Chains A and B, each alone.
Chain A
Amino acid sequence: MKASVKITREINPIVYTDPSMDRYKDVTLFPEKLEQVNKRLEKSGFPGIPNKPDVPQS
């Protein structure tokens, strides 16, 4: 079972949320790259994850 741990402070993110960034929620910024990755994953599969498309990409 996974446990909660404190992240190493050397790399602790500095972050703030900005609702204006939500304009990217439904935008695929690198469609060609994603298509390439999907083809690779289709071929190689992934440990512990069924090798079936989950949600069709638009």
Chain B
Amino acid sequence: MILDRYELKSATNYSTFQFSSVGPKGTVTKIIQFQKTILSNVYNLAFSDQQNGSNNLDDKVVTDNGDSEKVLATVVASIYLFLNHYPDCWVYATGSTAARTRLYKMGINKYFHYVEKDFTILGDFDANWETYQKGKEYRAFAVQSKTVKFDL
């Protein structure tokens, strides 16, 4: 089954992406940014709606545009693209709220059989990193590609 996903528009360094969510609420621009953290080779995944090209973003907003699975698949696709260009890096992801973190966990579980062969997945459990286990409540996640380069 081919996963339905949106077309991504990328910066030339593959660190920032935009795409358009289309649904009952209309067309909503989404932006994804992989941000350098204080630790070398660890990048934070940030993701939100973007209104009128503004840089003033709120990652707690809930769009409810009826396409959450397609949006999630698109975000996963952006992780593939980023790690394809930065294969030694880790992508760190945590929700802006506990509910959003649970949503990320559901996303990882949903696509686990697709991504586990491509990514090493870790979970932060009470400030300790461990290999990701389904069903466990993590406060953050991190993924790294198992490959030098994906053949996209």
Q: Which residues in A have some Cβ–Cβ distance to B below 8 Å? A: 2-19, 21-22, 24-25, 27-30, 33-34, 37-38, 40-47, 49-57
Contact = CB atoms under 8 A, between A and B. Distances in A.
A12 B4 CA distance: 10
5 contacts: A30-B46, A33-B44, A33-B46, A38-B37, A50-B40
A7 B147 CA distance: 10
Lowest 6 CB-CB distances: which A-B pairs, in order? Answer: A13-B77, A21-B11, A54-B40, A44-B127, A24-B16, A53-B38
A12 B77 contact: yes
Interface of B: 1-3, 5-18, 31, 33, 35-42, 44, 46, 48, 55, 57, 59, 73, 76-78, 80-81, 87, 90, 92, 94, 96, 111, 114-115, 117-118, 122, 124, 127-129, 139-140, 142, 145-152
Given A2-B146, A29-B33, A29-B57, A11 B5 contact: yes
Contacts of A10: 1-3, 114
A54 to B, nearest CB: 4
A8 B128 contact: no
Which of A9, A30, A56 has its CB near the most chain B CB atoms (within 10 A)? Answer: A30
Contact of B148 (A2, A18, A53): A2
Interface hub of A16, A38, A56 (most chain B Cβ within 10 A): A38
B31 A25 contact: no
B116 to A, nearest CB: 11
B39 A27 contact: no
B74 to A, nearest CB: 8
Contacts of A51: 39
Given A5-B151, A25-B11, 18 more contacts: A4-B147, A5-B147, A6-B151, A8-B118, A11-B73, A11-B114, A13-B5, A15-B10, A18-B11, A22-B11, A22-B13, A33-B59, A33-B96, A37-B37, A40-B139, A41-B92, A42-B38, A49-B41
